């Protein structure tokens, strides 16, 4: 019994893939619309008191108010920018230091033996456990928060980069060496492309961890930022502003994660084809 496999031309295949993504996008939009509708129904019917759960219209009014008048001498977008700057400074430094160190650990047994236990000790520690010490050492300014975000993302990035290198198949390295490639060429053309998917996966996980930590840091000690707005609004029972900040934080996190995933897809176009 024979089986016939239809092979679509590239144009038809691309068209079918675009059509297949359309229902997923519509489904996602419908889910968001359903959540907003459910939120509005709960608020409109009084199932939850208005001071505890403002309606979507109340949150929109809060957005207009804060955008027009600011909040306690600060602007909404200035606070969002402060949170974003703290995040990118700590995460960016962790990436610049952590990726090369992880690649070195994965390639060098001595370095791995010397550093791995430190990274494995740091990974499960709650990031906020550093916060009090960092405030005592570096003050309540942005430096202590950037250091906290660095310590949050650093062990995740290092561990993922090292795991990516150590997961490269030895047969590939041996074949490249047998064909006359130098150690530097093997690292550049064999190890790096094979480890890159794991590195970017670690970056995405580290970004999510750092994003949640920056808000927690601003709740403890800050004079601006979205986390500061949340804790400040809570003292005045402004739940509309609290929900507004949560929505903006979610949007910022979604945008940053989407940009990182897009970079992943563009740079690592061979992901999923490795065998």
- On the CB side of 254, CA atoms within 13 Å amount to 6
Average pLDDT along the chain, 275 residues, taken 10 residues at a time: 46 51 76 88 84 89 93 92 92 95 91 91 86 86 89 94 89 82 84 90 93 83 87 90 92 92 85 58
Q: Under a CB-based contact definition with an 8 Å cutoff, are residues 130 and 156 in contact?
A: no
What domains sit in the chain, N to C, each tagged with a CATH number?
Answer: 56-267 (1.10.3720.10)
Task: Enumerate residues 6+ apart whose C-beta is below 8 A from 157.
Answer: 94, 95, 98, 99, 102, 199, 202, 203, 206
Q: Which helix (H) or strand (E) holds 252?
A: helix 239-267
Residue 133: HSE in the Cβ half-sphere, 13 Å Cα cutoff: 7
């Amino acid at each position: 019994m024979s089986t016939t496999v239809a092979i679509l031309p590239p144009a038809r295949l691309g068209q079918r893939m675009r059509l297949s993504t359309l229902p997923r996008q519509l489904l996602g939009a419908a889910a968001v619309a359903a959540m907003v509708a459910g939120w509005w129904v709960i608020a409109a019917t009084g199932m939850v008191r208005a001071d505890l759960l403002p309606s979507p219209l109340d949150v929109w009014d809060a957005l207009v108010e804060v955008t027009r008048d600011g909040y306690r001498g600060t602007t909404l977008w200035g606070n969002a920018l402060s949170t974003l700057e703290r995040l990118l400074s700590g995460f960016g430094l962790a990436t610049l230091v952590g990726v090369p160190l992880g690649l070195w650990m994965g390639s060098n047994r001595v370095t791995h033996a010397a550093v791995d236990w430190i990274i494995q000790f740091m990974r499960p520690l709650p990031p906020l456990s550093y916060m009090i010490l960092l405030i005592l050492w570096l003050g309540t300014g942005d430096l202590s928060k950037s250091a906290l975000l660095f310590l949050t993302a650093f062990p995740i990035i290092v561990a993922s980069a090292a795991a990516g290198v150590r997961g490269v198949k030895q047969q590939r390295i041996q074949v490249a060496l047998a064909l006359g490639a130098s150690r530097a060429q093997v690292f550049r053309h064999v190890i790096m492309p094979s480890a890159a998917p794991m590195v970017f996966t670690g970056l995405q996980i580290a970004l999510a961890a750092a994003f949640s930590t920056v808000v927690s840091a601003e709740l403890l000690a800050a004079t601006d930022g979205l986390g500061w707005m949340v804790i400040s609004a809570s003292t005045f029972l402004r739940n509309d502003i609290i929900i507004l900040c949560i929505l903006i934080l979610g949007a910022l996190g979604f945008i940053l994660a989407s940009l990182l995933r897009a970079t992943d897809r563009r740079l690592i176009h061979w992901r999923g084809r490795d065998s």
